[in-house]
Structure 1
Amino acid sequence: MPADDVHLGESWSLSPDSRRPLPELIEQKLRELIIGKTFKEGDRLPTEPVLADKLDVARSSLRTALQRLQLQGIVEVRRGLGWYVRRSDLAAVDEHLEGKLAARQFSPTDLLETRISLETTAAALAAIRAGDGELDELAKLSRRYQRATVEDTQEVLDSDEEFHLALVRASHNELLVQMYQALVPGLRDCKRHAQPSREVHNRSANDHEQVVWFLRRRDPDGVKSTLATHLLGLYNDLATDVSHDRATLNTFVGHDEPMWQQTERRR
């Protein structure tokens, strides 16, 4: 069908559930349109400006929703062409890892422990592989996070997320990037309910600067240890699954890599 034929007879109103983040409501509506065969497998979706206009939402929220659907294998982006429906059999989506991640079928503890493993490995690779332009971009994103005020929760979340995603991309390992991106929606939901204090924000900003410092010095051990310590703070705040034994990290630089250690079980 023509990409901008948006079926004017269809209902484009979002669910009125104000308790759910806007990208989730957009995702739900796009799912409904695919299930209802407004958009069929292989169809090219309307452009982002057209979709955002029909749904009456910001393009940033629309893009987040499309990325969630992409992680589930429902849509795909083709460079220079736009977004396409990849799969219309949505009943089978949750059988796949991407669907489970996007549907938040893993605990915050599982997500955060996996994130630490993936991101510290990516950071060590970035210390070796990142180009000067990528390091400049990371420094710019670090300053953006530092300038964000704790009262502007959305900017804190966005600038932090962009910094860490850019760090993983600087590893030049596409599989690590794809695996990390699959975690992002669940991680975003974890952090959305944690309002950082000014002290925590300042400490995180300093950690970001330290990460960039070690990257510029091409020090994989230093950046890996610094990042593990940084992420452990989030883990301690947000890991809530009491079925797991409590764990912590030994980030002493003398070790080849940060090592998990068992601590007391959380009550």
Structure 2
Amino acid sequence: MPADESHSGESWALSPDSRRPLPELIEQKLREQIIGGTLKAGDRLPTEPELARKLDVARSSLRTALQRLQLQGIVEVRRGLGWYVRRTDLTAVDDRLEGKLATRQFSQTDLLEVRIALETTATSLAAVRAGNGELDELAKLNHQYQRAQVEDTQEVIELDEEFHSALIRASHNELLESMYQTLVPGLQDCKRHTNTTREVHNRSANEHEQVIWFLRRHDEVGAKSAMTSHLLGLYNDLVTDDITVKATLSTYVGVSDKPIWNKPR
């Protein structure tokens, strides 16, 4: 019997821990359901709207938690059918790369350096591959991000991630997108520990706009440089004393002004 037809609402109550991000509490609850045997391998989870109602959370926070579990190989999404439990043996999960990423077993600087490498490559690819509709969508997402309430940390994080994820998709490289998605949970944790003022938020939105400007002109070198400068801002805020030599703009962007990728025919 599917999980959403056999369990009472009381078993879905979240732990009242206001110090932890909501997606992390949701992830913990779903893990408890699996470890306790309430959810078994092959079980279908309730639909996202139903599960959000049971947990009394927004679907955006629920989706983040489900993505974290998906990266760890604990649940999987089946197109047109919903979310299913993939495995119940969680003892070996953290030994996998996805588990280590989801449980933050790498330093924030390691995470951000890989993020810069992946996302700047995706940006240069998007400059020669993205269609007008995709660029219009990026501009729309950035407008929503710019209008977000800075005090609402979760909203700012989610809107920022929507923009960057859309940019990754615009690269039209499925493997690159898959690799990037493994970093998302850790990246969101980094952002939660960053104090954002309205001035910093506006600067970030302006930097997004600059990236879009280069993308619309199919300038992959300019787009990559603009994205690198944008991401280095967060990196420099978080860089720690255990890094002997920190990365700079020249680390990721070459000095040549020649095209990196072949132009579309």
User: TM-score of the superposition, structure 2-length normalised?
Assistant: 0.91
- The aligned residue for residue 153 of structure 2 is 153
Paired position in structure 2 for 1:263 = none
> For residues 153 and 54 of structure 2, what CA distance do their matches in structure 1 show?
27
Q: What secondary structure, in the 3-state scheme, does the structure 2 residue paired with 1:46 have?
A: coil
User: Structure 1's 16 and 152: CA in aligned 2 closer, same or farther, altered over 3 A?
Assistant: closer
User: Partners in 1 of 2:105 and 2:75 — Cα distance?
Assistant: 20
Q: CA deviation at 1:239?
A: 2.5
SS at match of 1:84: strand
Q: Which runs of 5+ in 1 are unaligned?
A: 258-267
Percent identity reads: 75
Structure 2 counterparts to residues 196-211 of structure 1, below 5 A: 196-211=196-211
C-alpha contact (below 8 Å) 1:112/1:239 kept by paired residues: no
The Cα of 1:253 is off from its aligned counterpart by 7.2
Distance 2:55 2:198 in 1: 35
Question: Is 2:3–2:45's contact at 8 Å kept on the other side of the alignment?
Answer: yes
Q: CA deviation at 1:151?
A: 2.7
| C-alpha contact 2:148 2:155 (8 A) present in aligned 1 | yes
- Give distance in 2, aligned partners of 1:169 and 1:234: 22
Q: Partners of 2:90 and 2:247 in 1: how far apart?
A: 38
| Greater alpha carbon shift after TM alignment, 132-141 vs 248-257 | 248-257
C-alpha distance after superposition, 1:195-238 (max 9, x if no partner) = 21222222211110111111111111010011001111110012
Q: RMSD of the alignment, in Å?
A: 1.8
1:246 alignment partner in structure 2 = 245
The verdict on how the C-alpha distance between 1:224 and 1:4 changes in structure 2, with shifts beyond 3 A counting, is: same
Aligned to 1:80: 80
Instruction: Tell me the distance in 2 between the aligned counterparts of 1:207 and 1:57.
Output: 32
What is the aligned partner in structure 1 of residue 227 from structure 2? 227
Q: 1:41, 1:10 → 2: CA distance? A: 22
Would the alpha carbon gap of residues 250 and 12 (structure 1) be closer, same or farther in structure 2, given more than 3 Å must change? closer
Deviation at 1:127, TM superposition (A): 0.8
- Alpha-carbon shift at residue 246 of structure 1 (Å): 3.1
Deviation at 1:7, TM superposition (A): 1.6
Higher mean Cα deviation, 150-159 or 78-87? Answer: 150-159
Does structure 1 conserve the Cα–Cα contact (< 8 Å) formed by 2:3 and 2:39?
no
- Partners in 2 of 1:94 and 1:235 — Cα distance? 26
Q: TM-score, normalised by structure 1?
A: 0.90
CA distance in 2, matches of 1:44, 1:256: 52
Q: Tell me the equivalent position of 2:260.
A: none
The residue that corresponds to 1:35 in the other structure is 35
Distance 1:198 1:9 in 2: 40
Residue of structure 2 in register with 1:265 after alignment: none
Question: Is 1:69 the counterpart of 2:69 in the alignment?
Answer: yes
Aligned twin of 1:15: 15
Question: Which residue number corresponds to residue 188 of structure 1?
Answer: 188
1:157 to partner: Cα distance: 1.6
- Paired residue for 2:166? 166
Change (3 A) 1:235 1:9: closer
Partner of 2:263: none
Q: What CA distance in whole angstroms lies between the structure 1 residues aligned with 2:232 and 2:135?
A: 23
Please say if residues 3 and 47 of structure 1, whose CA atoms lie closer than 8 Å, have aligned partners that are also in contact: no
Q: Quick check: 1:175 aligned with 2:178?
A: no
Which residue number in structure 2 is paired with residue 125 of structure 1?
125
Aligned equivalent of 2:48: 48
> Shift of residue 21 of structure 1?
0.8
Instruction: Give the AA of the match of 2:101.
Output: L
Q: Distance in 2 between matches of 1:123 and 1:74?
A: 31
Q: Return the letter of the residue paired with 1:4.
A: D
Range with greater deviation from structure 2 (63-72 or 8-17): 8-17
Aligned to 2:261: none
User: Does the aligned pair in 1 maintain the 2:232–2:249 contact within 8 Å?
Assistant: no
